[in-house]
Amino acid sequence: MAPRAKRQPRIEPTFGEDSSSLLDLRLGPQDRTSAPASKSGSKSKAGKAGGRKKPSAKKRAKTQSGKTRASAGNRRGGRSGAKRRSRKRRTRLKVPAAVGRIFKRGVYWSAVAGIWGVIAVVCVIGYYAAYLPPTSEWQVPARPPNVKIVAINGDLLANRGDTGGEAVRLEQLPPYLPNAVIAIEDRRFRSHFGIDPIGLMRAAYTNVTSGRVSQGGSTLTQQLAKNLFLQPDRTIKRKIQELVLAFWLEAEYSKDEILEMYLNRVYLGSGAYGVDAAARRYFGKSARLLTVAEAATIAGLLKAPSRYSPARNPDLAEDRAQLVLSAMHEEGYINSGEAKNAIAAPAKAIRRYTTASENYVADYVMDVLPHFVGLIEGDIIVDTTIDPAMQQAAEGALRSALSENRQKLGVSQGAIVTLDTAGAIKALVGGADYAKSQFNRAAYAKRQPGSAFKPFVYLAALENGMTPQTVRQDQPISIKGWSPQNYTKEHYGPVTLTRSLSMSLNTVAARLAQEVGTGTVANTAKRLGITSDMNRNPSMALGTSEVTPLEIASAYVPFSNGGYGVLPHVIRRIKTVDGKTLYSRSGDGRGRVVQRRNVGDMNLMMSETLLSGTGRKARLDSGRPAGGKTGTSQDFRDAWFIGYTGNLTTAVWFGNDNNSPTKKATGGSLPAATWKAVMDAAHQGLPVADLPGVPNVPVNVSAPRKPQSQQQTNVSSGRNPIPPGSIGGGGGSNESTGERRGPLNLLRNIFGGG
């Protein structure tokens, strides 16, 4: 067998230099329990003697027990010191640590509450947003169309529609107008995302500290969202929907687009929507032409349009404008010099916008507009036949007459309408003050014309074979129990038709109507342009059937144009803002309605009314040939003068809206004088035109008898409509005017007009 391998000696592990990187687990001297000096010395000597003596088991146990007690003592001493040091540290850190714990807990629970708050807000927003239409259907509604109404020369008369003004581009406005709105309403408009958290917190703090809702935190975008899509109710639902829509607007449109939409749609009081409507309403100009002070005044209206209206509360409006100017200066939109100048020269609102007679024209245009274009889908421009100079003259004459005679004659209202020979309305004044009453008396007020209706009676007589020289008896007459009487209660015996018309003799007019028939008279009036229903009774000859100033003026036009009926009109052309023509007037009127010979005879008779009859106060200063007729209804309730030249026809009415009697105002007094003022101004610069058909040769007529005062022998019937024509009894002038008036002067001399 093989020899057994020799056992190698056991190698003990050592910790040398190669083991420096390992953890040294051996106890060092500092880790051992200290021994007494003697023992240490003996051990040391023993060691020196050449080796360590192995202790006995009993001694080892005793030694181990001592070590254990010493180790335990050291541990107790160490723990006691650590406790004392820890207690001191806890004492020093007790208060800060408590605060820290509270702070940490506060942060934690705040975060938790914030998360749940966000979740709750999202849920609430989602709930109310669900009531909105799908986002695919969201779109900004079109701005309500504006109707720009202009005069024949292009001057603006008025804007009509839901907005009251034009839509203007942002670049067309002076920069200080949008800047004024931003400065006072939403200073962070250019930087926020639809809502302004800073503004909301500021408004909330102010409202809480003041104890009332004095400020709002809505941005311009939120206000636009509300104006475009929502009802103005104050509910959480509406407010949340407003926020959602504001975010959508900010995402879909630029800041300039949002601002432009806002400026064109915001309500600024007095029916004005948008800055252009407000500029015209308060300052009579386009928003493109506003000054710094005017822009600040308009921006100040946004807080409370009625309260800060410069037309109603100029002092409050000025204070508010100064606040806006201060905000503009703080934001750097204007310098100190511009601010001082604007404060030194505050904006002044005009009153004419609300009182101007052009508003009657604009309302009338809007009434007839649907007949020409139907549904209006976009902004349009309506060219009218109105002459601004004639309109102003008519308005001024009416107001002056009422101001001077309101108390004296007991009249409170009036109306004036002027037409040219084609029936185009050149001026239309529907009342004394549009701001006080918007009812258009010129177009819609039906009143008894009185003796102003008589020309249709006399025309019917001429068409039935009579002439201006035909003689009829001016004496008492009774027709089916009705007995008309003259204004003076006097009778003149045999008179020509010319004389009886110029003196407005009621008995002769009633006799003529009886001869030709009331039906014939009614048909004649309708043929010339009277559209209202007429009572075909004997009193119709004296104008007891009601008419409007516009229709009776149009019925007089054939006398001025040679016998052609007209359709009164105010619209010439309608076009879109980009120039597309939607309507252009063409065609004629009613055609010939009076034979030329009869036109001449009527003009001869009606000219005498101004020369020697009841309309002497209407004679024109220029000596221009003119004809016309006075009218006074029963109990002096209505006073008229309707007259014409070869260029224009004008009807004037005065009375009271409640149909109460005036203080004996007659057609030959206030209306005739007012007609003269209107026509003198209207004919400035117009060539002189003769009245059509006036003969150039003398005419033989019979002179009337001297008037004989007579008592009325016949008692009127119960109805007794006796609308007397005002008569003056002579007084015509013999002075030559230099115009072609030979036959008219002859008639005047025969009648003894001096």
Q: 440-469 burial string, b = 16+ CB within 10 Å, else e?
A: bbbbebebbbbbbbbbbbbbbbbbeebbbb
Alpha-carbon distance of 413 to 406, in angstroms, equals 9
Task: Please name the amino acid found at residue 70.
Answer: A
The whole-number pLDDT of residue 241 equals: 76
**Structure confidence by residue, pLDDT tens digits, 412-470:** 999 999 999 999 999 999 999 998 999 999 999 999 999 999 999 999 999 999 999 99
Residue 650 has pLDDT above 90, yes or no: yes
Contacts 24+ apart (CB under 8 A), 41-45: none
**Token pair of 315, please?**
């002092």
| Span of 184-198, 254-268, 568-582 with lowest mean pLDDT | 184-198
The DSSP-derived string for 661-718 is --SS--TTTHHHHHHHHHHHHHTTTPPP-PPTT--SS----PPPPPPEE----SPP-S
The burial class, CB within 10 Å (0-12 / 13-18 / 19+), for 182 is buried
pLDDT band for position 205 (cuts 50, 70, 90): low
Q: pLDDT tens digits for 267-307? A: 999 889 999 999 999 999 999 999 999 999 999 999 999 99
Chain segment 22-55, per-residue pLDDT in tens: 444 455 555 555 544 444 444 444 444 444 445 5
Classified as helix, coil or strand, 156 is strand
C-alpha of 36 from chain center: 115
Query: Where is average pLDDT lowest: 1-10, 448-457, 696-705?
Result: 696-705
pLDDT of residue 114: 78
Residue 574 tokens, joined: 């309608």
> Binning pLDDT at 50, 70 and 90, where does residue 587 land?
confident
SS3 471: strand
SS3 644: strand
Percentage of the chain with pLDDT > 90? 58
Say if residue 676's pLDDT is above 90. yes
Q: What is the mean pLDDT of residues 643-649?
A: 97
- Nearest 5°: the CA angle 586, 389, 432 is 100
Query: Following DSSP, what letter does each residue of 257-295 receive, concatenated?
Result: HHHHHHHHH-B-STT-BSHHHHHHHHHSS-GGG--HHHH
Question: 3-class DSSP state for residue 454?
Answer: helix
**Confidence band of 395 (pLDDT split at 50, 70, 90):** very high
Which three-class secondary structure string do you get for 542-568? HCCCCECHHHHHHHHHHHHHCCEECCC
- What average pLDDT does the structure give for the chain? 81
Q: Which of 166, 185, 318, 551 is catalytic?
A: 185
3 state SS of 574: strand
- Whether 451 is a known active-site residue: answer yes
**Amino acid, res. 384:** T
Q: Given the residues 270, 357, 451, 500, select the one marked as catalytic.
A: 451
How would you class 700 by CB atoms within 10 Å of its CB: exposed for 0-12, middle for 13-18, buried for 19 or more?
A: exposed
The model's confidence at residue 79, banded by pLDDT at 50, 70 and 90, is low
pLDDT, tens digit, 9 for 90 and up, residues 741-750: 334 443 333 3
Give the pLDDT confidence score for residue 232 in this predicted structure: 66
Which segments of 370-444 are extended strands (E)?
380-384, 413-420, 425-429
CA–CA separation, 512 vs 497, rounded Å? 10
∠ at Cα 40 (37, 44), nearest 5°?
Answer: 140
pLDDT at 636 over 70: yes
Residue listed under structure tokens 């224009």: 648
Gap between the Cα atoms of 492 and 440, Å rounded: 41
pLDDT bucket at 537, cuts 50 / 70 / 90: very high
Which range, of 67-81, 292-306, 322-336, 626-640, averages the lowest pLDDT? Answer: 67-81
Distance, in Å, from the CA atom of 653 to the CA atom of 231, rounded to the nearest integer, reads: 46
| CA atoms of 647 and 557, how far apart (whole Å) | 10
- Other beta carbons within 10 angstroms of residue 396's beta carbon come to 15
Write out pLDDT tens, residues 396-413: 999 999 999 999 999 999
Q: What is the pLDDT of residue 719?
A: 31
Q: Residue 423 — left, alpha, or beta (φ > 0 → left; ψ -120 to 50 → alpha)?
A: left
58: helix, coil or strand?
A: helix
Which pLDDT score is estimated for 47?
43
| Residue 377 or residue 54, greater confidence | 377
Q: 744: Cβ–Cβ under 8 A, 6 or more apart, which residues?
A: 604, 607, 608, 611, 694
Among 201, 182, 474, 427, CA closest to 328: 182
pLDDT bracket for residue 368 (50, 70, 90): very high
Report whether pLDDT(739) > 90.
Answer: no
CB environment 336-351: b (16+ within 10 A), e (fewer): eebbeebbeebbebbe
Neighbours of 185 (CB within 10 A): 21
- What residue has token string 């003041």? 210
> What three-state secondary structure class fits 250?
helix
Give the percent of the chain with pLDDT over 70: 74
Q: Whole-angstrom Cα distance, residue 178 to residue 63?
A: 101
Inter-residue contact 692 to 600 (CB < 8 Å): yes
Q: Is 500 a catalytic residue?
A: no
The stretches of 130-196 forming alpha helices (DSSP H) are: 176-185
Task: Give the three-class secondary structure for 607.
Answer: helix
Q: Return the closest-CA partner of residue 278 out of 261, 259, 295, 303.
A: 295
Among 175, 174, 218, 215, smallest CA distance to 196 is for 218
What is the separation, in whole angstroms, between the first and last Cα of the chain?
188
By residue count, the chain amounts to 754
Q: How far is CA 451 from CA 499, 505, 659, 660, 666, in A?
A: 14, 9, 18, 19, 10
Q: Which residues pair with 117 in a beta bridge?
A: none
Give me the mean pLDDT over the 83-104 stretch. Answer: 64
Q: Judge whether 391 and 428 are in contact, CB under 8 Å.
A: yes
Question: What is the C-alpha separation between 618 and 677, in angstroms, rounded?
Answer: 8
pLDDT given for residue 671 in this prediction: 97
200-214 average pLDDT score: 64
Tokens read off for 27: 């106890």
